[in-house]
């Protein structure tokens, strides 16, 4: 895989944060490589998909948090059927709104990990991690339910593994209401699956109007993120977004 170093990410500023979305395949791969990738991305928030659900789920979520210098904010294990939210110390959780989704017989349980959070200097917003179904009909219903996770605040972010391509009906519907981060502010790589030969875009970060997307993409070439670690960590590539939130006291249009 041939990649080039991306442009530098926007520097820190009041109300500015880094959000990482990452399918970790139940931590079945190289956990040290996974932790190195996450740490190198220096995220304020991590939207995890496929956090372990059955064997010591909370303990494994806590272990991932410790290895990556974060804390568990919401989701994890059976609370959201896999999605998990991690955040750096200092991110304040105002409320948790995890949701288990209606389950189709014979298919995996799915859910949303959602929290209303506040980062220093910025107005509160919701963040949701999701991992949608492989089944077309069930996935479309789950896309429709995602909008409900935004009702808890004026501003919100939805990130995850959507198991659909950007030309799919659910993705197009969501992109019609929210900003598709990589389309608005492309940075780094686009394709997220599979790490050895990326050929499809299944993972994304979406943001409501009112949140400015400054950069979004797969962090190929980011200092500290090696292609060896990206291939070893899990079966998806991560998506890193830099988002500008309205600062406290700022008047929004």
- Per-residue confidence band for 118, with pLDDT thresholds at 50, 70 and 90: very high
Please check the confidence at residue 251 and state whether its pLDDT lies above 60: no
CATH for 69: 3.60.10.10
Let me know if residue 101 belongs to a domain. yes
Please check the confidence at residue 25 and state whether its pLDDT lies above 70: yes
Global confidence as pTM: 0.95
Which residues, including other chains, have CB under 8 Å from residue 51's CB and lie 6 or more apart? 24, 26, 27, 57, 60, 61, 64, 75, 76, 77, 82, 83, 84
Let me know if residue 8 belongs to a domain. no
Q: For the chain, what percent of residues have pLDDT higher than 70?
A: 95
Higher-pLDDT residue of 173 and 59 is 173
Q: What is the pLDDT of residue 5?
A: 55
Euclidean distance between CA atoms 100 and 138, whole angstroms: 14
Euclidean distance between CA atoms 82 and 91, whole angstroms: 21
Euclidean distance between CA atoms 38 and 68, whole angstroms: 6
Residues 62-104 have pLDDT tens digits of: 999 999 999 999 998 777 899 999 999 999 999 999 999 998 8
Considering its fold, how many domains does the chain have in total? 1
Instruction: State phi, psi for 151 to the nearest 5 degrees.
Output: -75, -10
- Per-residue confidence band for 250, with pLDDT thresholds at 50, 70 and 90: low
Q: What is the pLDDT of residue 195?
A: 97
Let me know if residue 7 belongs to a domain. no
Instruction: State phi, psi for 110 to the nearest 5 degrees.
Output: -130, 160
Euclidean distance between CA atoms 66 and 94, whole angstroms: 22
- Select from 49, 150, 145 the least CA-distant residue to 97: 150
Let me know if residue 41 belongs to a domain. yes
Let me know if residue 250 belongs to a domain. no
Let me know if residue 1 belongs to a domain. no
- Per-residue confidence band for 253, with pLDDT thresholds at 50, 70 and 90: very low
- Select from 192, 118, 194, 203 the least CA-distant residue to 152: 118
Domain extent for 80: 16-244
HEC secondary structure over 80-134: CCCCEEEECCCCEEEEECCEECCCCCCCCCCEEEEEEEECCCECCEEEEEEECCC
Residues 207-224 have pLDDT tens digits of: 999 999 999 999 999 999
Let me know if residue 157 belongs to a domain. yes
- Select from 213, 185, 152, 162 the least CA-distant residue to 18: 213
Asked if 240 and 203 touch (Cβ cutoff 8 Å), the reply is: no
Let me know if residue 217 belongs to a domain. yes
Using DSSP's 3-state secondary structure scheme, residue 152 falls into: coil
């Amino acid at each position: 895989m041939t990649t080039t170093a991306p442009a530098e990410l926007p520097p820190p500023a009041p109300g500015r944060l880094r959000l990482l979305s990452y399918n970790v395949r139940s931590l079945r791969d190289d956990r040290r490589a996974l932790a190195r990738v996450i740490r190198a991305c220096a995220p304020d928030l991590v939207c995890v998909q496929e956090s372990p659900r059955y064997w010591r789920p909370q303990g494994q979520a806590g272990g991932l948090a410790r290895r990556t210098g974060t804390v568990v904010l919401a989701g994890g294990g059976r609370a959201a059927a896999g999605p998990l939210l991690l955040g750096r110390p200092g991110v304040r959780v105002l409320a948790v709104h995890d949701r288990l989704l209606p389950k189709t017989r014979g298919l995996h349980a799915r859910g949303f990990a959602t929290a209303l959070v506040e980062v220093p200097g910025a107005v509160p917003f919701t963040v949701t991690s999701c991992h949608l179904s492989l089944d077309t009909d069930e996935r479309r219903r789950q896309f429709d339910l995602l909008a409900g996770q935004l009702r808890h605040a004026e501003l919100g972010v939805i990130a995850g593994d959507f198991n659909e391509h950007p030309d799919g009906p659910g993705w197009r519907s969501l992109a019609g209401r929210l900003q598709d981060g990589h389309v608005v502010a492309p940075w780094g790589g686009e394709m997220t699956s599979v790490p050895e030969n990326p050929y499809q875009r299944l993972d994304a970060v979406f943001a409501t109007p009112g949140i400015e997307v400054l950069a979004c993409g797969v962090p190929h070439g980011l200092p500290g993120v090696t292609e060896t670690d990206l291939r070893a960590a899990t079966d998806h590539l991560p998506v890193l977004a830099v988002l500008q939130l309205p600062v406290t006291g700022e008047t929004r249009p």
